Amino acid sequence: MPVDLEAVCEIIEKHGYQKASLIGILQDIQGKMNYLPRKALVQVAKSLDIPITNVYEVATFYKAFSLEPKGKHTLQVCLGTACHVRGGARVLNYLENRLEVKSGRTTKDLTFTLESVNCLGACALGPMMVIDKKYYGKINTNKIESVLKKYQ
């Protein structure tokens, strides 16, 4: 996947080449490219005159950052206590098999990134599934197919 280094340089310039803006720079790069490509991180290190290890420290510390390409859609399954006892683990297992991807990974066609989370804040509607910030409550394996069709 080609990396638009010109866009990376524009983002760094927008932040005034400030080392203190590293997190903001990485957020903007990920917002544009949907992940943090290695070549982009190398460019950031060079432009800010900081060791690449410092850039990687920040990029790997925060869960919001991804060093791997993310899918077009983010699919989250709640495994908090209320969702778990109502079948959240079965929903996640079904999705892993159906999409042929493990939790925390992205499908080969880059359509979905599947994630498990500890709480989505809607315990009464568990088990919960969220796709691109749209909540699907009381989800079960019978309902999943109709929901996925909307996104494929």
* pLDDT, tens only, 84-128: 999 999 999 999 999 999 999 999 999 999 999 999 999 999 999
CA distance 102 to 84: 18
Are 104 and 128 members of one domain? Answer: yes
Domain containing residue 100: 73-149
Query: Which H or E run contains 29?
Result: helix 22-33
Whether 1 has a pLDDT exceeding 70, the answer reads no
Are 54 and 79 members of one domain? Answer: no
- Residue 39, domain member (yes or no): yes
Mean residue pLDDT of the chain comes to 94
Q: Could you count the other beta carbons within 10 Å of the beta carbon of residue 51?
A: 10
- Residue 66, domain member (yes or no): no
Query: Per 3-state DSSP, what percentage of the chain is helix, strand, and coil (rounded to 5)?
Result: 50, 10, 40
Are 37 and 78 members of one domain? Answer: no
Are 98 and 133 members of one domain? Answer: yes
Q: Which sign does the torsion angle of CA 35, 8, 38, 1 carry? A: positive
- Say what the pTM is: 0.75
pLDDT, position 63: 82
* pLDDT, tens only, 47-79: 999 999 999 999 999 988 999 999 999 999 999
Q: What is the CATH classification number for the domain harbouring 135?
A: 3.40.30.10
Query: Which H or E run contains 132?
Result: none
